[in-house]
Amino acid sequence: MIAKEREFRRLRDERRKENERIENLKRAEEAAANEEERRVREQKRIDAENERRKKESEMVAIMEEREREKKRQVRLRELGPCPAGFRWIKQDGGYRCAGGSHWLSDVVVGM
């Protein structure tokens, strides 16, 4: 969860920097002296915008996953600790209690 949050923040910062870079490219394109230079700068801007769109879709996917995880955490709090009193730890396909003897599938948790 912590690693996912760090990745989200890193992508958010990259998105901000990419937007600034695109704005700089637009200004440089407008200030270009001749047509060839203008075309080169325009192509750089288009490439940067395509890359931004790709990163934006990654960001949306991460945000959706964060939202699903928040809902799962709410559901786990509603279910409470395992019968032995241990907390739940995320694993592939579900959650195992910290004691290791109980299991909740993702279906039960409400994916």
| Beta-carbon count within 10 A of 82 CB | 19
Tokens found for residue 46 = 């288009």
Percent of the chain with pLDDT over 70: 98
User: Apex CA 104: angle with CA 64 and CA 2, to 5°?
Assistant: 45
What secondary structure letter does DSSP report for 111?
-
- Is residue 72 a contact partner of residue 104, using CB atoms and an 8 Å limit? no
Range 35-45 average pLDDT = 79
User: Apex CA 66: angle with CA 54 and CA 107, to 5°?
Assistant: 115
Match 């325009």 to its residue by tokens: 42
- Residues 68, 92 share a domain: no
- Residues 71, 38 share a domain: yes
pLDDT over 70 at 111, yes or no: no
- Residues 19, 67 share a domain: yes
pLDDT over 80 at 31, yes or no: no
Total domains present in the chain: 2
The structure's pTM equals: 0.53
Q: What is the extent of the structural domain holding 103?
A: 82-111
